Amino acid sequence: MENIADRIAVYLLQFDDLDSIDYHGSREDCPELFLRDPFDTHSNVELLKVRLADELTSSKGNRKVAAQKLGISRSTLWRWMKEHKVD
């Protein structure tokens, strides 16, 4: 929860006033807020696996950069990769 709140706050800091906020743009920073069914654990796991793989690809395998983009620690990234068998 704290991580999501931090990412929302950082996202909103880029806007000067309430009228200029692009709420749809927050999908990239906080995709878990836009899940169709937050209780569908299978879809959530698949979403996480895709997001992990995408970030690792875009950071050319650099786990430190991928973790920073995801807003998590490297140890959390490593644990998620291990749990979900993402290379």
CATH number for the domain including 53?
1.10.10
pTM metric for this prediction: 0.54
Q: Which domain holds residue 25?
A: 1-30
Q: What is the pLDDT of residues 34-52, one digit of tens each?
A: 766 656 666 677 888 888 9
Residue 52 to residues 39, 43, 80, 84, Cα–Cα distance (Å): 20, 14, 8, 9
Task: Give me the percent of the chain exceeding a pLDDT of 90.
Answer: 18
- Res. 60 pLDDT band, cuts 50 70 90: very high
Which tokens is 43 given? 């879809």
Q: For the chain, what is the domain count?
A: 2
* 10 and 45 part of one domain: no
Handedness of CA 51, 57, 58, 60 (dihedral sign): positive
pLDDT at 36: 65
